Amino acid sequence: MKHEWRKKEKALYLPGTNPEFKDIPEFQFLSIRGEGNPNSKGFTDYITALYSVSYAIKMTLKKLNKTIDYTVYPLEGVWDINEEAKKTYTGRKINKDDLVFKLMIRQPDFVSTNFYQEMLDLTKKKKPQPLLDQLNFEKITEGPCIQMLHIGSYDTEDVTFKIMEIYAESKQLKRLSKVHQEVYLSDFRKVAPEKLKTLLRFKVQKK
């Protein structure tokens, strides 16, 4: 039976429009790091590298064993600003050129490091691009987080983050930093900005 994360893992990926606490366990991901404005032309190359290998893994596994089938997990991004920008940051609007990011796509638990390497090598032969050399295969544990569904433009996420921070305070939880995670539930190339759905998360600890 095909594993579809939208149906099987709703609690992780499809929360409501109210903030909630969630302890996110360890998962494994393909990831890649970068910096700069996500509206720049080269940003999509990072996404292409991740999806190229993710789909190579999925399709090859299905060919090898027809009982293994799943929906590729959504793109995720962890966002921060560079060290130079932190020196002068006042809490106001961020210059997107100062952003640093780690983009990720979760992989099923049964995908091994060796198989990932085989699929990476295969992708380099079939769909070569320089950024493939920057991919990592890693295990990540987010741990205690506040999460909430944001509907609308990425530029209005600060409104949702404020709601999440107020909720955290009410639960005696402290946001660890301004670093945050986004899980992209909509394709920004096909969906109008005001209708985009993005899962937002930030890490917390008890006060």
| Residue 48 to residues 40, 104, 142, 163, Cα–Cα distance (Å) | 14, 11, 24, 33
Q: State residue 196's pLDDT score.
A: 97
State the pTM of this model: 0.94
Confidence (pLDDT) at 114: 97
Ranges of residues in the chain whose predicted pLDDT is under 70:
90-91
Q: Alpha carbon of 84 to those of 38, 89, 101, 109, 178: distances in Å?
A: 18, 9, 15, 37, 15
**pLDDT at residue number 51:** 98
- Give pLDDT, residue 137: 98
Q: What is the mean pLDDT of the chain?
A: 95
Looking at residue 123, the DSSP 8-state letter turns out to be: H
Strand ranges in 108-156 using DSSP code E only, listed in sequence order: 136-151
pLDDT value of position 189 = 84
Distance between CA 122 and CA 61 in Å, rounded? 13
Element (H, E) at 72: none
Q: What is the pLDDT of residue 118?
A: 97
| The predicted structure's pLDDT at residue 41 | 87
Report whether 57 contacts 107 (CB < 8 A): yes
pLDDT of residue 207: 87
